Chains A and B, each alone.
Chain A
Amino acid sequence: MLKRSKVKSYTKKFPRFENESLSLYYAPRMPKAMIKETEEAVALARKFNDEVARPLSLELDRKTHEDPDYLPVELVKKANEWGFYTMWIPKLFGGKGFNLPSISYFLEEVGSVCVGIANVIGVHYLGMAACMMLSNTRIIKRVMNDVVEGEKTGEPCLISYCITEPTAGTDVEEVDLEAKGRLGCHARKVPGGYILNGSKIFISNGHFSTWNVVYAYTDLKKGADTKVALMVKRGMKGFSLGTHENKMGQRVCPASVLNFEDCFVPDELVAMDPDIIKSYTKKTPRNVNMQHIDYVFSISRAGVGAFGVGVARGAFETAMKYANETEIDGKPMVTYEWVQCRLAEMYANVRLGRLAYTEANLANQHRGAYNILQMKPIYYYLKYLPVSYFKKVIAPLLDKPIATWILSKWYIDWQKPDDQHLTTGLASMAKFSCTDLGVRNCQMALELMGKAGLRHDSGAEKIIRDAKLLQIYEGTNQLNRINLFKSIVAPACPKATFFEE
C-alpha cells in the first residue's frame, strides 16, 4: 500500500516507531544463548529463595528490629558462596559473565521473596556499573579481581556507589541541580592524588563493602564542573564507617554513613577528574559528568524496576495464598468476583512492570551501556572462550592506557546522544512505573487481607515497608518522571526548560 521509502519516512517521524517499540525490533536480534543463561539465572534465584531467602527473610527482619545495630553478615557470605557477586562480572574481568539484562529477572525473583536480600546482591552491581562506566580499565581490573578473589577465599568483596550527602540527595543525580546544590564532600588536589573530606549517607551495603566509588568535588560551589570519582578501599587511612540508618524496611541491607577525614586517595585510584576527561574528549566535564550519571542510572534504574516488580509479585503471591486459604461466609474467598478481579489486577501489574523493565533492558542492550557486549560476535566470543584465555591474553592489555582511552572514547564520544536519551528515559520510566505498581500491589494485598496482613509473620506488612524505599532511591520517582520527560518527551515541547522554574 505504501512504498518502502514512505514507510521509512513515516516511521522515522517523531515519535520514532523503533524507539517506541524496542521489543518488536530487538527481541529477534537477541543471541539465543542469552535466553538459556537467563533461565539459569532465574532457576538459581528460585533455588536460592527456597534454600536461603525464604527461610531467612522474616527472621532476619525481626532480628534487625530486636537489635537495630545487627548486620546480617552471614547473608552476604551466603550470597558470596552462591557466586552471586561475580555472576554478572564480564569474563573479561574474571567473572562468570552472565548477560547483564538477566540480572533483572534474577533480582525480580529474589525480590519477590525479600527485596532487602535482593538489594544486598543487586546494589553491588550498582557499584560495579559505576566503576565500569568510569572506563578506567586498570581500576576495573583491580577491583573486579578483588571481587573474584573474595569469592574464592570466602571473604566477600563488595562495591558500593557513594553519592548521597547529608544535604544533597537528588542534587547529586542531575548536573543542573548539582551545580547549585549544597555539596559537602570535598576533594583537594595534592601531589600524587587527592585529599578527601566529608561524608556520604544512605550508602547501601556500606558496612559490607570493600571498595567504594566516591564522588567528590574540588570546588563545592561548582560541583557539576569539578567532580572527581575516587575509588576508596576499606582500611584506607582517613576513611571510617559511621552508623547505619534505622530504616522502615529493607533492613537487611544497611544504609551506611561513610566519613572521610583527610583521606588520601592516590592517583592510581582516581577514576575521573576534569584533567582525565580532557585527555580523551573535548566535551566539558559537566557533560561527561551527566553522561556518566545517565549510564549508571540507566543500568541501575532498570534493576530497581525489577525490584518493584519483585515486590508487586511478592504482594500478589501473598494475597493469593491468603485468598486460597480463607473463606468468607462459608465459601472460598477466591470464588468471589471482587477477589478475582483484584488478584487479576495485581497479576497484570506484575506483567506490565516486567514489560517496562524489559524495554529499559533492551535500550541498554542495543542503544546503551551494554551494546558492546550484546553484539553477537562479541557476545559469543566472550561466552565460549575460556577464562584462562582472557587472563593470559586480554588481562595484560587492560593495564595499558590505550585500553582506558578506547573504552572512554567508546562511551563518551562514540555513542549517539539520542540513544543515551532513549536509554536513560526508559530506565526512569521502568523505575517509577514498576515501583509505583509495587507499592500499589502491596496496598491491595493489605486491603484484601485485613488484620491478617498486619502481622509480621504474614509477610505482607514487611513487603509494604520494603516497597516504599523503591520510590525513593536511585532518584525519587519525581526526578525520574522529569528525566523521562527531559529525555524522551521534550523534543515535542521545544519551549521546555529543566530545573529552572
Chain B
Amino acid sequence: MLTALNNDLKPFEDLITKFSREELKPHVEVHDRYPFGDLDVDVIEAGFNKIYDLGFLGIMLPEKYTGIGQGISTLCMMLGHVAEVDASYSLIIFTSALSQEIILSAQADSIAERIYPKAKDAKEYLVAFPSFTDPGQSKTLPEASPSGKGYTLTGKLDYLVLGSFSKWAVIPARISSNRGYSFFLVNLNDRGVTKSEPIFSLGLHACPIIDISLNNVSARIIGEEGEGERYFETASKIMHAAAASINAGIIRGSLREAMDYTKEREQGGRPVINWSEVRMILANMAIKAKVAELCVTQTCRAIDENLKDWGMISIATALHVHDLACEVVTDGVQLLGGNGYMKDYGQEKRYRDARQVQALLGLAPLKKLVLIKEIVG
C-alpha cells in the first residue's frame, strides 16, 4: 500500500522482496533455531553483512553519514516486507534505525561521524540498543560518572539487542547529579564489558539479545546530560510506526500462509477454505491486515507531512496494530490446525514473533497511559 501511494518506493520494494525471497526465506527455520542448533555465528553475521552491503541498515540515516537518507515510508515498507518472511531481520534493521534516531535526536554529529562513515562492516555499523526498553520505565540503569573528558559506566543493562554482535552500543545510564537519564556510546569490546550468553526468548530468534554488565567502561555522552528521555521520546515517536510496520508484515505473512493452506487442505471431502467458519476467520484476518496496512500507511504520511499530533498517531497505530497482529497470528496457527503448531510451517513462528514485536519500545499499557496523558494534557 505504501508503494501504491509513493512510486519512488518501487525500486526499494523490488530490492527488499528479492532479498527476502532469495536470501532469507530458505534459511528461516534454521535461523529460528538460534541460539541452539548447528547455526554457525558466522552464518548469522554473513546475513547481517548482506543487509549492510545492501544499505538496509542506514535507510533513514542522512547521506552525509553514508546513509541513504530516506524517510519513514521507506523504512516501514522495507520492515514490513522483511517481516513477511522473517521478522528477526526486521528487528535488526529496526534496532539500527532506532539507535540512529537517538543519535540524530541528540544532534550528536561527532558520534555519528565516529561510527558510520568509518564503519567497514555490519559489526561496526550496526549499533546495539535495548530496543525493548523505555529507559524511563527502567528502575535500574547503569550509573555514569564523569571521568576526564568523558564518562565511565558501571552497572547492568538487560536485553541489549545485537549486544553480542555489534562493536558499538547506545546505552542509557543515570548520572547521579541528574534527575533523568542520558545516552552514551559504548565500545562493547571494552574490557569492562561482560556479556551474557544469548538470551533464549519467545520470538525473533535470529536477532541475538544479551544482558551486559559494565565495570568502569569508558563512554561518550550522546547529546546533553539528563536529556535522554527527550531524545528517546523523539526517536520512539517515529519508531512506533516502524514497529507497527513489522507487525503489519507479520499479519500479511500469516494471512497468506493461512489462505494457501486452507485452499490445499481438505476437510470432509472438500477444501477447508470452502467451510464458512473458516472463511469467516480468514475474513477477519483480512480485515485486520487491511486495517493494519492503512494505519501504517497513514501514519507514515502524517509523519512525512509533519501533521499535527503525528507522534500520538504513531503510538496509537503501534498499539492498535500490535493488538491486531496478536489476534491474527493466533488465528493463523488455528487455521492450519496441528500443522500450524509445528515448526515445519511459518505460523508458529509468527505467533511468537508478533508478541515479541509488541513489546518493542516498552510496556504496552504504559504507552497507552502516555498516549492519554498527551491527549488530555
Contact = CB atoms under 8 A, between A and B. Distances in A.
A446 interface: yes
A454 B201 contact: yes
Contacts of A465: 202, 351-352
B36 A247 contact: no
Contacts of B355: 443, 446, 454, 464
A180 B268 contact: yes
Contact of B202 (A164, A181, A182, A464): A464
B361 to A, nearest CB: 10
B337, B338, B366: residue with the most chain A Cβ atoms closer than 10 Å: B338
Interface in B292-328: 326
A472 B341 contact: yes
B351 A248 contact: yes
A456 to B, nearest CB: 4
A149 interface: no
B337 A451 contact: no
A468 B343 contact: no
Given A62-B200, A246-B343, A461-B201, A327 B267 contact: no
Interface in B30-48: 33, 36
Interface in B12-43: 33, 36
Interface string B147-177: 0000000000011000000000000000000
B338 A450 contact: no
A176 B342 CA distance: 27
B36 A454 contact: no
A170 B269 CA distance: 12
Given A450-B362, A472-B341, A248 B267 contact: no
Contacts of A447: 358, 363-365
Contacts of B364: 447, 450
Interface stretch (B57-65, B66-74, B98-106, B132-140): B132-140
Nearest to A499: B268
A455 B199 contact: yes
B8 interface: no
A245 B359 contact: no
Contacts of A457: 200
Given A177-B268, A456-B199, A465-B352, A246 B337 contact: no
Contacts of B121: none
Contacts of B356: 454
A472 B365 contact: no
A310 interface: no
Interface string A405-446: 000000000000000000000000000000000010001001
A450 B344 contact: no
Given A248-B341, A248-B348, A465-B352, A472 B201 contact: no
A468 B341 contact: yes
B225 to A, nearest CB: 21
Contacts of B213: none
A62 B200 CA distance: 9
Contacts of B330: 439, 468, 471
Of the four ranges (under 10, 10 to 19, 20 to 34, 35 or more), the interface on chain A belongs to 35 or more
Contacts of B267: 169-171, 177, 181
B200 A65 contact: yes
A397 interface: no
A248 B33 CA distance: 11
A501 interface: yes
Interface residues of B, number: 47
Given A447-B365, A461-B201, A476-B334, A66 B36 contact: yes
B283 to A, nearest CB: 14
Interface string B95-126: 00000000000000000000000000000000
A170 B203 CA distance: 29
B268 A65 contact: no
Interface in B339-353: 340-344, 348, 351-352
B101 to A, nearest CB: 19
B7 interface: no
A180 B60 CA distance: 56
A435 B199 CA distance: 29
Contacts of A202: 338
A338 interface: yes
A326 B356 CA distance: 20
B342 A455 contact: no
Nearest to A451: B132
A461 B139 CA distance: 22
Nearest to B340: A472
A324 interface: no
B260 interface: no
A169 to B, nearest CB: 5
B334 A246 contact: no
A328 interface: yes
Interface in A468-501: 468-469, 471-473, 476-478, 481-482, 499, 501
A478 B277 contact: yes
A21 to B, nearest CB: 29
Contacts of A182: 266, 269
Interface string A165-199: 00101110000110011100000000000000000
Contacts of B358: 446-447
A62 B356 CA distance: 19
A107 interface: no
A448 interface: yes
Contact of B275 (A62, A469, A501): A501
Contacts of A477: 334
A18 B192 CA distance: 72
A468 B137 contact: no
Contacts of A473: 338
A101 B133 CA distance: 46
B341 A247 contact: yes
Contacts of B344: 246
B200, B281, B366: residue with the most chain A Cβ atoms closer than 10 Å: B200
B199 A446 contact: no
A104 B243 CA distance: 41
A169, A451, A471, A482: residue with the most chain B Cβ atoms closer than 10 Å: A451
B276 interface: yes
23 contacts: A177-B267, A181-B266, A182-B269, A246-B342, A248-B343, A328-B137, A338-B365, A338-B369, A446-B355, A446-B358, A447-B365, A451-B132, A451-B359, A454-B359, A455-B159, A456-B201, A456-B202, A461-B202, A468-B341, A472-B333, A472-B337, A478-B277, A481-B277
The 7 closest A-B pairs by CB, nearest first: A180-B269, A461-B202, A451-B132, A248-B348, A450-B363, A177-B268, A456-B200
Given A169-B338, A454-B132, 16 more contacts: A247-B348, A255-B338, A446-B358, A447-B363, A454-B203, A454-B356, A455-B200, A461-B352, A464-B202, A464-B355, A465-B202, A468-B348, A471-B330, A472-B337, A472-B338, A482-B277
Interface of A: 62, 65-66, 164, 167, 169-171, 176-177, 180-182, 201-202, 245-249, 255, 326-328, 338, 342, 439, 443, 446-451, 453-457, 461, 464-465, 468-469, 471-473, 476-478, 481-482, 499, 501
Interface of B: 33, 36, 132-133, 137, 139, 158-159, 199-203, 266-270, 275-278, 281, 326, 330, 333-334, 337-338, 340-344, 348, 351-352, 355-356, 358-359, 362-366, 369
